[in-house]
A and B are shown apart, each in its own frame.
Chain A
């Protein structure tokens, strides 16, 4: 079986996507959920660059992936800051407990 570089990258991106979704489904910790989102963003990054290379314009893929990278980093930063603040105020990072809190 002769796989092209694009196919290899897309299979790898699908694998990372599966791992990220698995993390989102089984995690109850807010920080670990942010970590799973990071894995999902890595999959998107990889797919964009591979598609850019396959289209013959690696710069286009890189420029799109850079936007994803910036947005992904900001999601991580704000998510982590939110997690720290939630922990300070409620004493837990468990999303199940947080969904029960009222007022």
Chain B
């Protein structure tokens, strides 16, 4: 019963996150969804994952969203959505209903038919799912490199003070050439 209540609140928070008129408020609603999801994960016995979800999903991702909103501005652009809101809500309710019905029917049919070996998480991660761990390492490195590449400022070598210095030198050279050109005809006369 507590799980059902927490999940209902999480769904309400999620709907608020997508309907909110402010991006900052949306990020905070999303942090609430993450915190509630972490609590549900803990209640299901996935304590390690709950801690990671709480620190990464609620902490890091929210901080990144707030940082991005601070840089890009808080304009949610929702007055004219791509799909009419009523149609979108109807489609999503239909999809959620069908998914829930399919999941419940398959869950009741498969209950008790599949039993996986219960191992400690560390053994499961490093021995049984070693390839997943390798994939995660690759993903983290590529993500960090991608983020650094996207956020880095590409500056021209002639930006700033150096560009001004070069421009001044060019102007001086042009002025000197012009003076020489004026002086030569006078010398000829």
Residues of chain A at the chain B interface (Cβ within 8 Å): 3-23, 25-29, 31-32, 35-36, 38-39, 42, 45-47, 49-50, 52-67, 69-71, 73-74, 76-78, 80-85, 87, 93-96
Contacts and interface: CB of A to CB of B under 8 A. Distances in A.
Main secondary structure of the interface of A (DSSP, over half): helix
B167 interface: no
Contacts of A55: 114-116
Nearest to A16: B14
Nearest to A11: B100
A101 B78 CA distance: 20
Contacts of A65: 41, 46, 49
B128 interface: yes
A36 B85 CA distance: 15
Contacts of A83: 68, 72
Nearest to A81: B150
Contacts of B83: 25-26
16 contacts: A10-B100, A12-B10, A14-B96, A15-B7, A21-B95, A27-B82, A38-B61, A39-B30, A46-B41, A53-B44, A58-B118, A59-B119, A64-B129, A67-B129, A69-B53, A74-B142
Find the residue from A9, A13, A26, A94 having the highest chain B CB count within 10 A. A26
The main secondary structure of chain B at its interface with chain A is helix
Interface in B124-154: 124-125, 128-129, 132, 135-136, 139-140, 142-143, 146-147, 150-151
Report, nearest first, the 8 A-B pairs whose CB atoms are least far apart.
Answer: A18-B96, A12-B7, A23-B18, A57-B116, A74-B143, A14-B100, A19-B14, A15-B11
B46 A63 contact: no
A46 B3 CA distance: 11
Contact of A21 (B7, B40, B61, B92): B92
B92 A22 contact: yes
Contacts of B3: 5, 8-9, 12
